[in-house]
Amino acid sequence: MENTSSVKLFGVVSLASVSVIATLVGLSDFRVVNAMIVVHVLLGGLAFLVGSIAFISTKGKSIHKLTGRIFYIVMTTSVAFSLIVSMQPNHVSPSLFQIGVLTLYFLIGGNRSLSYKNANHCLLIDQLLAITVVLVSVIVMFYSVVLDGVFFPLRTVFGSIGIVFGVLDLVVFSRPQVAEKNWLILHLSKMVGGYTAAVTAFFVAQNLLTGYYNWFVPTVFGLSYIGYWLVKLKSKRPMTNRVMKKIKLAK
């Protein structure tokens, strides 16, 4: 997927459009809310299909870049709708809001990480995003426990994921050279996280498993796949460094 100006522009336009619709939803028209839910589900399904192609295609190839770009745009718009719905009367859902923020963090972070390889990339926005996901994760995790004495496993698991990723990112962003060196790892881990959210939504919508399994099984596989790529890329790095040294010596 490429971090092109067209992708950025479409993202801005999409979010602006959703904001306008949010104003209309403020009128508490249940028909508008239901329409947004339908659009959210349809876009989520499309993101799942397109994301699957990007997921299995050879990384770096044109088909991966194209489907990855489409996945980013469609999934980001779908999540934006879900965030708005999660705050509407009779549809208030802290869990949906929390997962939406986490998914949006993965998507935006995965897209922005393509620019980390540029030495002049500004990490301020990335740091603000990391702080946001940590704060939202902490608040949603603990407010129901503190106020009502109710414990929600779903919020705890996804909140913990948000805190871990957010804190790790803040550590990385504190040293720009580390972000520049690990841009590919950051891109893969974030986009896999975004795709895992699409798969999870598909499992929940279709009720393929039972209860919390619909939420946790895709998450476990997604985190495992991220771990696999981390090990794979880390193991390749020493070999790449040795090759580069030989090339320099040959010169």
> For residue range 161-213, what is the model confidence (pLDDT) as tens digits?
899 999 999 999 999 898 888 898 899 989 998 888 878 877 877 778 887 88
In a domain, 94, yes or no: yes
In a domain, 154, yes or no: yes
| pLDDT (0 to 100) of residue 111 | 93
In a domain, 245, yes or no: no
| pLDDT (0 to 100) of residue 154 | 81
Query: Which residue range(s) make up the domain with 146?
Result: 5-237
Q: How many domains does the chain have?
A: 1
In a domain, 23, yes or no: yes
| Position 223 pLDDT exceeds 70 | yes
| b/e sequence 210-242, b meaning 16+ C-beta within 10 Å | eeeebbbebbeebeebbeeeeeeeeeeeeeeee
| pLDDT (0 to 100) of residue 19 | 52
| Position 15 pLDDT exceeds 60 | no
Residue 180 in tokens:
């520049």
Identify the band that residue 61 occupies on the pLDDT scale cut at 50, 70 and 90. confident
In a domain, 249, yes or no: no
Name the residue type at position 246: K
Helix or strand run (H / E) with residue 239: helix 213-250
In a domain, 251, yes or no: no
| Position 107 pLDDT exceeds 50 | yes
Q: How far is CA 93 from CA 63, 83, 117, 136, in A?
A: 36, 9, 38, 13
Q: Which of 26-40, 60-74, 91-105 has the lowest mean pLDDT?
A: 26-40
| Position 251 pLDDT exceeds 80 | no
Question: If you average pLDDT over residues 27-35, what whole number do you get?
Answer: 70
Residue 89 in tokens:
């009367």
In a domain, 186, yes or no: yes
| pLDDT (0 to 100) of residue 17 | 52
In a domain, 215, yes or no: yes
pTM value > 0.75: yes
Residue 91 in tokens:
């549809």
Residue 55 in tokens:
């997921």
Q: Which residue has the tokens 């009720």?
A: 207
| pLDDT (0 to 100) of residue 239 | 47
